[in-house]
Amino acid sequence: MLDTLSRVALAAALVLAFGFVWFREGRGRWRARLADRFVLGVPWGTLLTVAVVVGFYLVGQGGLEHWASPVVFPFVTWSYFYPTGILTAGIAHGSPGHIVSNMTGTLAFAPIVEYAWGHYPPSERGRARIGNEESGGLLARPLVRAFLLFPVVLLLAAFLTAAFSLGPGLGFSGAVFAIAGLAVVNYPITTVVALVASSAARTVYTAFTDPVVRATVEAGAPSPPPWASIAFQAHMLGFLLGVVAGGLLLARRTRRPALDRVFLGTFLLGTVQALWLLVWVDDETFVLYRAAGVALVSVLSVLVAATAGGSRRPIPRPLSVLPRRPTRRQLAAVWLTALLVGTAAGVAGIVYEGETVGLSVGIVVVAAVVLAVPALPPLLPDSVVESPVSRRRSAVVAVAVAGLLVAAPAVPAGLVVVDDTGVQGSESVEVRGYDVAYGENVTSERATLVDISNDTEAVNASGVVVASADREIWTLGAREEGLAFSGNETVVVGGLGWRETVEADRTGWEVVGNDSAYAVDLTHDGETTRSYRSSPSRADARVDGREFAVAPTTGGFEVRVMQNGSVAGSAPVPAANESATAGGVVLENRVVNGTERVVVVADDTEVQVAERETYD
């Protein structure tokens, strides 16, 4: 009741507050300004894009029926050999929070970009309206620009940032950063305001979904830091793509925003939106280079400012102090020749050494391409590139090259295949091409076709493994630490239009003085499979020369009684408040304060050997 009243009061307050300002001050002014750029004053392209992304989450991923747990695995960029993931990862999302965050960012930044683009061509603004068939062709028609071109460009940005993300990627965030990059070079101050508005929109959404929050002091399951799962490389790639597109749009419109405003807007956007994330992962160790990342954002802000507000003056002529200076074209030819010879020699040396050939050759080639870029404009015809090249255009090229460098590592990392979907020592559950099993210290079966390092140490993982050879998937559906904390995890598998779940349940006994003995069961369609059994665990207790161990079995647990180094007897763990006899002693399962305890009784001696695991 309190939640409902809170939502009603919040809605009424927002409507009254914004309605008052709109009708009192901004109605006529904003309507005229928006109608000059948008059909009927509405950013239709932004709304259509949001509708496509949200619609895919609701229908394609099953979010309409399972809002909090959509189907995720088939829509991730696992490999270039799995085209479904490459095509859909840019518009798929992993959770409600994920899609809400990206859509609020889209609604905040995309209208700015759509306003800069405009539904009406610049020459037609102020007089062009729907149905105007004047010169300019199909691409100049307002409805085409609003409902086709703009959404297609945004979705293309989502595809590119997903396809060139480093490692498995998911979400529209790469496109959001591309939108933000394009917005900040055109309208930097407005973009900063939109950044604040995006945060406010998420707060309002949370206020509606959780109007009253009650919390207690409680511990959580061990997990990686939140920033370790952020696709910082895809974000940077998207931002650089947006800056390049924004710079080209400014050049075409012959606009030059204030350099200091673009710098400030870029720096604020980059720091608030965590463009400074530089993360390195080594097994279970996550390293965040925060200071280096912020320094990178500050340098990047200068480059972006030069892209948007740089001078049109040509860059200084090289070797201009010489009495007989060479032309730019001659210098470019000499530089490219030397670069070609050096690259060939470097590749030959790498092949001769024969170590880490793929990675080393890739680095040399990428470096050569980057170094060759400054020499290309003088060799191109003037109809393609104006000569001499301006400082502003040089900055645009520098940003484009930076984007290529950011995207390049994704290519070898995406050439991945999965050879084997089985988990050694575990029983798997097969669900329409997926193999689900629990394992510990399991070697990942993801193999890259390009040898990118000399490190031959296997990458091991522990938890519920989800694998599919057809989809090139080998990943953890639930981590070992999370299952040990909660005792139950639900793994969702599926595809376009279908969804299945596998329940993972851990049961175990905490053995006195030793590790727990436990098992993991997987349940699908009412059938339960014992996927994993830990090794027997021996208790640090002795009764009449006997020792005791708890061991998982195919259907439960048993207590083994050992004497003189051999098993003297065994019996299943008794039901609650029941007992059994094994090896000359009595095994009792006593319930104390709601917790089961296995107690060994021999004559007048009682010793506890194990206690049932409890979960949060």
Average pLDDT over residues 292-310: 89
Buried b (16+ CB within 10 A) or exposed e, 496-508: eeeebbbebbbbb
User: When comparing pLDDT for 160 and 139, which is higher?
Assistant: 160
Q: In terms of C-beta density within 10 A (0-12 exposed, 13-18 middle, 19 or more buried), how is residue 4 classed?
A: exposed
In a domain, 498, yes or no: no
Average pLDDT over residues 419-433: 86
pLDDT above 80 for 373: no
Please indicate, yes or no, whether residues 282 and 333 belong to a single structural domain of this protein. Answer: no
* Amino acid identity at 314: P
Range of the domain at 356: 328-414
Please tell me the predicted confidence (pLDDT) of residue 184. 95
> Which pTM does this prediction carry?
0.85
Please tell me the predicted confidence (pLDDT) of residue 589. 93
pLDDT above 60 for 377: yes
In a domain, 503, yes or no: no
Please tell me the predicted confidence (pLDDT) of residue 454. 47
Lowest mean pLDDT among 85-94, 248-257, 379-388, 440-449: 379-388
Measured CA distances, 103 to 109, 156, 237, 332, 367 (Å): 10, 16, 19, 46, 37
Please indicate, yes or no, whether residues 360 and 263 belong to a single structural domain of this protein. Answer: no
Q: Which of these three, 309, 339, 366, is where a domain ends?
A: 309
Please tell me the predicted confidence (pLDDT) of residue 355. 56
Maximum CA extent, the chain:
110
Please tell me the predicted confidence (pLDDT) of residue 341. 83
* Contact criterion met (CB below 8 Å) for 483 and 468: no
Residue 531's pLDDT band, with cuts at 50, 70 and 90, is: very high
Average pLDDT over residues 496-510: 94
Please indicate, yes or no, whether residues 271 and 334 belong to a single structural domain of this protein. Answer: no
Please indicate, yes or no, whether residues 187 and 332 belong to a single structural domain of this protein. Answer: no
User: Quick one: which of 273, 271, 268, 259 has its CA closest to 304?
Assistant: 259
Q: Which of these three, 414, 434, 458, is where a domain ends?
A: 414
Q: Which of these three, 375, 390, 414, is where a domain ends?
A: 414
Please tell me the predicted confidence (pLDDT) of residue 323. 59
Average pLDDT over residues 422-426: 83
Please indicate, yes or no, whether residues 301 and 368 belong to a single structural domain of this protein. Answer: no
pLDDT above 70 for 386: no
Q: How far apart are CA 427 and CA 429, in angstroms?
A: 7
Please tell me the predicted confidence (pLDDT) of residue 130. 53
Please indicate, yes or no, whether residues 183 and 271 belong to a single structural domain of this protein. Answer: yes
In a domain, 205, yes or no: yes
pLDDT above 90 for 191: yes
Please tell me the predicted confidence (pLDDT) of residue 321. 54
> Look-up: residue for tokens 């399962």?
589
Lowest mean pLDDT among 122-136, 141-155, 238-252: 122-136
User: When comparing pLDDT for 351 and 14, which is higher?
Assistant: 14
In a domain, 96, yes or no: yes
Please indicate, yes or no, whether residues 303 and 159 belong to a single structural domain of this protein. Answer: yes
pLDDT above 70 for 540: yes
* DSSP line for 171-201: SSHHHHHHHHHHHHHH-HHHHHHHHHHHHHH
pLDDT above 50 for 236: yes
Residues whose CB is less than 8 angstroms from the CB of residue 201 and which lie 6 or more positions away in sequence, other chains included:
104, 107, 108
User: When comparing pLDDT for 587 and 388, which is higher?
Assistant: 587
Average pLDDT over residues 423-432: 89
pLDDT above 70 for 497: yes
Q: How large a percentage of the chain has pLDDT more than 70?
A: 86
Please indicate, yes or no, whether residues 178 and 285 belong to a single structural domain of this protein. Answer: yes
CA angle (157, 160, 163) in 5-degree steps: 145
Please indicate, yes or no, whether residues 161 and 118 belong to a single structural domain of this protein. Answer: yes
pLDDT above 90 for 318: no
pLDDT above 80 for 465: yes
In a domain, 14, yes or no: no
pLDDT above 60 for 464: yes
DSSP annotation of 602 reads E
Please tell me the predicted confidence (pLDDT) of residue 456. 45
In a domain, 10, yes or no: no
Segment 16-53, tens digit of pLDDT:
888 888 777 666 677 777 787 888 888 999 999 999 99
Please tell me the predicted confidence (pLDDT) of residue 390. 65
Q: How large a percentage of the chain has pLDDT more than 90?
A: 47
Please tell me the predicted confidence (pLDDT) of residue 492. 96
Please tell me the predicted confidence (pLDDT) of residue 103. 95
Please tell me the predicted confidence (pLDDT) of residue 515. 92
Please indicate, yes or no, whether residues 126 and 169 belong to a single structural domain of this protein. Answer: yes
Average pLDDT over residues 303-325: 69
Please tell me the predicted confidence (pLDDT) of residue 81. 93
In a domain, 158, yes or no: yes
Please tell me the predicted confidence (pLDDT) of residue 600. 92
Segment 114-134, tens digit of pLDDT:
999 888 887 655 544 555 545
In a domain, 352, yes or no: yes
Residue 167's pLDDT band, with cuts at 50, 70 and 90, is: confident
Segment 556-570, tens digit of pLDDT:
999 999 988 888 899
Please indicate, yes or no, whether residues 257 and 346 belong to a single structural domain of this protein. Answer: no
Please indicate, yes or no, whether residues 296 and 339 belong to a single structural domain of this protein. Answer: no
User: When comparing pLDDT for 92 and 456, which is higher?
Assistant: 92
Q: What does pLDDT average to over the chain? A: 85
Provide the number of structural domains found in the chain: 2
User: Quick one: which of 465, 468, 460 has its CA closest to 436?
Assistant: 465
Q: How far apart are CA 374 and CA 362, in angstroms?
A: 20
